[in-house]
Chains A and B, each alone.
Chain A
């Protein structure tokens, strides 16, 4: 179960951050912010040993309470997912989760009433992210 799902624009502005209400949202926002540096570093590392063509970045950095995963799309949109350490996601599940968040974002952008970069108020997007956060296993 994800504790936080965040979508950031190409200028690293937060587009949408959803946190589990039981958790300290300020701390989660801070973790998302610090993960931006790690993502940028992974993107720019010229000697990427791992597959540089892959969109999924894997676990970003270790933390005693949480696991933080990153994903960057071809259009420079960054997605960060934070999991609590008591319930870690398997690699395949994490990729599926990112794929679904990406899919929800694409539907949001294709909506002609949404102008890219503006605050998100679209009900389908909000509810699909909320259900992804609650899902214990990714179908």
Chain B
């Protein structure tokens, strides 16, 4: 398990790249779509359409506590299906999820919902992405 400043720098770099990609992707993808109104609809769009665009499958589960926190669960996260499931690679798994977190953050930012995005890998390849909206929905 390597937790050095070098690896956190890499994670931040990947997130920044993902942010820009997510931002542009949403701009392009929502061009001819009907207007998406509610915050929940926006998050559902992320789970279905954005996940489809990135991984050719939809997210498996979406949970919310109705106060601005959503958890998207993907049981077969594309970037981790080929990684061995032993403990020692869990830390490295973070790097693979960082880009996706950035994409989700950028996508939500372009929809007008600034938020913080974190990911947990309890049991690879299941990944849970947690979105915390900065302004809780009214």
Point out the residue from B33, B34, B112 that lies within 8 Å of A76, measured CB to CB: B112
Report the minimal beta-carbon distance from A47 to chain B, rounded to whole angstroms: 14
Beta-carbon contact of A74 and B30 below 8 Å: yes
Residues of A within 8 A of B112 (CB): 10, 75-76
Point out the residue from B23, B33, B111 that lies within 8 Å of A109, measured CB to CB: B23
Number of contacting residues on B, CB 8 A?
Answer: 16
Beta-carbon contact of A102 and B31 below 8 Å: yes
Residues of A within 8 A of B30 (CB): 73-75
Q: Kindly identify, within residues 55 to 91 of chain B, every residue whose CB is under 8 Å from any CB belonging to chain A.
A: none
Q: Does B126 reach chain A (CB closer than 8 Å)? A: no
Beta-carbon contact of A74 and B36 below 8 Å: yes
B residues at A contact (CB < 8 Å): 20, 23-24, 26-28, 30-31, 33-37, 110-112
Known pairs A72-B35, A74-B111, A102-B31; list 12 more (Cβ under 8 Å).
Answer: A73-B27, A74-B26, A74-B30, A74-B36, A75-B27, A75-B30, A76-B111, A105-B27, A106-B27, A106-B31, A109-B23, A116-B23
